């Protein structure tokens, strides 16, 4: 059957405000690629990210430019070769994965080499703010087992102490989103160690993270903005202890599986992360989460309204997707 491609843009309001070191947002805008053969439908969701020079219009255009190849039977391996990594390729790759599952009558996790899927515990993100506000947010989320704390550079020592005071029993990871510098690094990471933080995500700018190769890490450090695809990972081993695999950075589940395999070969721990997006974007990442040390797939928990059907969350416990959603 001839396949056809459609592209839609969806916007979801965020519950309150989501703030990190370089931006503040009140809504999440995503791009959905849908591929149909006339009988079956596969969908994938990508989130354009300005940090990587992406825009909604640009991602839509990049997806639409693949319409003829999709109609001619483009497969996932050829897609890896024909498109660069990013949100556009992610939407298409996940749509193809979904379509394959629907047409074959099997589940996507089988194509990914998994025997099955189990529920996973996800981190829950606390947005960047003043220490008192972050302590209050930590107190409100203190019953969650794992909190991810957004930091912003100057003032982070006080923020870390405030969050730990607000959630004394929760496991903590932090994400600086490239906001630390050589001047703030040592005090901040020492404060993280003192607070029992388990992982520090991307403390330094991606183009200025060489310091990590020359100093001891009292807390393991995870690469996010510094790594996108599997071929970049070996160069990271002197600087980082872990990598954050995100489908939008990798350009889809197919590349992300390669990253998972490469991390295992290199002895790097794996964190599976996400952009602010709906359950459709999280669903393929649940496959990766089966083999991750840290799971951060709380995007839908931060939205005021998710799409339907949606993933099932019970507190911080995330259940595998049903076929009606994806895979």
255-306 pLDDT, tens digit per residue, is: 999 999 999 999 999 999 999 999 999 999 999 999 999 999 999 999 999 9
Please state the rounded mean pLDDT for residues 112-131: 96
Non-local (6+) Cβ contacts of 261 within 8 A are 230
Map out the domains of the chain with their CATH numbers: 4-111 (3.30.390.10), 120-318 (3.20.20.120)
> How far is it, in rounded angstroms, from Cα 297 to Cα 8?
23
| pLDDT value, residue 50 | 94
Of 22, 24, 42, nearest in space to 32 by CA: 42
Angle between helices 253-266 and 279-289 (to 10 degrees): 30
Between the two ends of the chain, the Cα-to-Cα distance in Å is 20
pLDDT band at 16 (very low <50, low <70, confident <90, very high): confident
The helix/strand/coil state of 229 is coil
Over residues 189-222, the pLDDT tens digits come to 999 999 999 999 999 999 999 999 999 899 999 9
Q: What are the residue numbers of the active site? A: 150, 246
- The answer, yes or no, to whether residue 311 has pLDDT greater than 90, is yes
> How far is it, in rounded angstroms, from Cα 194 to Cα 283?
35
> How far is it, in rounded angstroms, from Cα 295 to Cα 141?
17
Of 67, 69, 46, 70, nearest in space to 58 by CA: 46
pTM, to two decimals: 0.96
| pLDDT value, residue 55 | 98
- The answer, yes or no, to whether residue 23 has pLDDT greater than 80, is no
| pLDDT value, residue 325 | 98
Q: Is 29 exposed, middle or buried (0-12, 13-18, 19+ CB in 10 A)?
A: middle
Tell how strand 23-36 and strand 269-272 pair up.
unpaired
Non-local (6+) Cβ contacts of 68 within 8 A are none
Of 179, 203, 180, 238, nearest in space to 23 by CA: 179
Please state the rounded mean pLDDT for residues 48-65: 97
Describe the strand order of the beta sheet including 242-245 as a list of residue ranges. Answer: 124-126, 146-150, 171-175, 200-201, 221-223, 242-245, 269-272, 294-295
Q: Which two tokens stand for residue 178?
A: 């490239």
């Amino acid at each position: 059957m001839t396949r056809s491609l459609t592209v839609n843009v969806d916007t979801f309001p965020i519950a309150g405000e989501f703030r990190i070191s370089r931006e503040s947002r009140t809504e999440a805008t995503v791009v959905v690629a849908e591929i149909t053969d006339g009988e079956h439908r596969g969908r994938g969701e990508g989130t354009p990210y300005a940090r990587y020079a992406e825009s909604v219009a640009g991602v839509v255009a990049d997806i639409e430019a693949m319409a003829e190849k999709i109609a001619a039977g483009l497969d996932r391996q050829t897609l890896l070769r024909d498109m660069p990594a990013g949100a556009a390729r992610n939407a298409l790759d996940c749509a193809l994965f979904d379509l394959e599952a629907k047409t074959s009558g099997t589940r996507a996790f089988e194509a990914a080499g998994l025997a099955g899927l189990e529920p996973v515990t996800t981190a829950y993100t606390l947005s960047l703010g003043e220490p008192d506000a972050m302590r209050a947010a930590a107190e409100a989320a203190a019953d969650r087992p794992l909190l991810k704390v957004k930091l912003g550079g100057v003032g982070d020592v006080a923020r870390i102490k405030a969050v730990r005071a607000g959630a004394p029993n929760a496991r903590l990871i932090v994400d600086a989103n490239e906001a630390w510098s050589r001047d703030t690094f040592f005090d901040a990471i020492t404060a993280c160690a003192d607070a029992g933080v388990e992982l520090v995500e991307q403390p330094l700018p991606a183009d200025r993270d060489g310091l990590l190769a020359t100093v001891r890490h009292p807390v393991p450090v995870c690469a996010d903005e510094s790594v996108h695809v599997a071929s970049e990972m070996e160069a990271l081993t002197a600087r980082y202890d872990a990598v954050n695999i995100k489908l939008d950075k990798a350009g889809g589940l197919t590349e992300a599986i390669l990253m998972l395999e490469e991390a295992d070969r290199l002895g790097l721990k794996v964190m599976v992360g996400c952009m602010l997006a709906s359950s459709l974007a999280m669903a393929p990442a649940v496959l990766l989460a089966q083999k991750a040390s840290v799971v951060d797939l709380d995007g839908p928990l931060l939205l005021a309204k998710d799409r339907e059907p949606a993933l099932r969350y019970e507190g911080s416990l995330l259940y595998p997707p049903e076929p009606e959603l994806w895979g």
